[in-house]
């Protein structure tokens, strides 16, 4: 398994990592806990050592699954988790990055993850009511106390990243990035490259669409976030097949799947980008790991760039309310 450093930090992780959210949040129906633990163990057996979770996934139970699964591998894997929301009556209820809430979240995460130190701690979403300097300062204190190793941000804008980085070096930005979600290329990716910050790309398979397994007839059940996303309406799925056709063209060349080409494209963009595709299926896990062995040539990347530039992706990635909470 190839390893990548996240920016200029000393944090080195497998590429790809494993996003664990879908094991208990966002993509119902969910597997049984024992099956999720077995998949995490299978991932380790195939070289993955970077696992992503968050307090709010569930909430809480995702960290519990990850903590139980990784307990035997303490010190041999990198666990990333996140703070930044109010949780009321078991449900996410608005952003909250006040220092006291950060500390509350971290204490809970440490217990659920069964660790003494969180490897990578992200602010899950920017809180407009709390200066980012206060957030970074609180995490800086937690690092000094030995409760956190590295600081990260998620879905933050370039100015926010710069301000945070000035207080406590940011090791990684976690944001959505794939062949059909590229708005961060204009300002954010150049900014983090300048600052020496790594990019952890979530949803590198476009929430499953880029696997080619979600057609216009697919019905999403309650508890599956895609049921409400504009990019997953029936009309959008029909229109966005053009992107799948492009991926399939290159998949044929490399004897690969569309998912593998989509991941190989992300990996080829920068050496400090680490995608974290999520899955609950063992065969998909092996498929995703296989993408790391695919090398797209410079000519192929130029060809993909030219072809994708002619394709208009239909549908925004989130609802307007959700997009307004990303901090961009």
* Segment 250-302, tens digit of pLDDT: 999 999 999 999 999 999 999 999 999 999 999 999 999 999 999 999 999 99
**237 vs 208: CA distance, rounded Å:** 12
What's the burial of 308, exposed, middle or buried (CB within 10 Å: 0-12/13-18/19+)?
Answer: middle
User: In the chain, what are the domain boundaries?
Assistant: 3-324
What distance in Å separates the CA atoms of residue 263 and residue 235, rounded to the nearest whole number? 25
pLDDT(200) > 90: yes
Q: What is the pTM of this model?
A: 0.97
Q: How far apart are CA 115 and CA 79, in angstroms?
A: 10
Which CATH topology does 3-324 take? TIM Barrel (3.20.20)
Q: Does residue 7 contact residue 197 with C-beta atoms inside 8 Å?
A: yes
Among residues 57, 122, 150, 177, the one annotated as catalytic is 57
DSSP code for 326: S
Q: Which of 52-56, 86-90, 172-176 has the lowest mean pLDDT?
A: 86-90
Please state the rounded mean pLDDT for residues 139-155. Answer: 98
Sign for the CA dihedral angle at 149, 268, 257, 313 comes to positive
pLDDT tens digits along 69-102: 999 999 999 999 999 999 999 999 899 999 999 9
DSSP 176-205: E-BTTB-GGGTTHHHHHHHHT-EEEEE-TT
**What three-state secondary structure class fits 82?**
strand
Is there a catalytic annotation at residue 57? yes
Cα angle 328, 316, 163; round to 5: 10
Measured CA to CA, the distance from residue 113 to residue 69 in angstroms comes to 9
């Amino acid at each position: 398994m190839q390893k990548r450093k996240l920016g200029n930090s000393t944090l080195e992780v497998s590429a790809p990592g494993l996003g664990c959210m879908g094991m208990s949040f966002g993509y119902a129906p969910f597997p049984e806990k024992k099956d999720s633990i077995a998949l995490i163990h299978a991932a380790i057996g195939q070289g993955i050592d970077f696992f992503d979770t968050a307090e709010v996934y569930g909430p809480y139970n995702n960290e519990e699954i990850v903590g139980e699964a990784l307990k035997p591998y303490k010190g041999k894997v990198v666990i990333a988790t996140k703070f930044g929301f109010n949780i009321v009556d078991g449900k996410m209820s608005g952003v909250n990055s006040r220092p006291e809430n950060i500390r509350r979240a971290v204490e809970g995460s440490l217990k659920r993850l069964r660790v003494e130190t969180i490897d990578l701690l992200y602010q899950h979403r920017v809180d407009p009511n709390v200066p980012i300097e206060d957030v970074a300062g609180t995490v800086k204190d937690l690092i000094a106390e030995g409760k956190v190793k590295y600081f990260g941000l998620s879905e933050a804008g370039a100015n926010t990243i710069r301000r945070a980085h000035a207080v406590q070096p940011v090791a990684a930005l976690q944001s959505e990035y794939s062949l059909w979600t590229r708005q961060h290329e204009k300002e954010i990716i150049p900014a983090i490259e300048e600052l020496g910050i790594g990019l952890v790309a979530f949803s590198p398979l476009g929430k499953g669409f880029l696997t080619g397994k979600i057609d216009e007839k697919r019905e999403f059940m309650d508890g599956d976030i895609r049921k409400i996303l504009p990019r997953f309406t029936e009309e959008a799925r029909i229109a966005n097949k053009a992107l799948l056709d492009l991926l399939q063209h290159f998949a044929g060349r490399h004897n690969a799947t569309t998912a593998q080409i989509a991941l190989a494209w992300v990996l080829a963009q920068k050496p400090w980008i680490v995608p974290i595709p999520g899955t609950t299926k063992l065969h998909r896990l092996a498929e995703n790991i296989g993408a790391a062995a695919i090398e797209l040539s410079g000519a192929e990347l130029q060809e993909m760039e030219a072809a994708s530039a002619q394709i208009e992706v239909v549908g925004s990635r989130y609802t307007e309310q959700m997009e307004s909470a990303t901090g961009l």
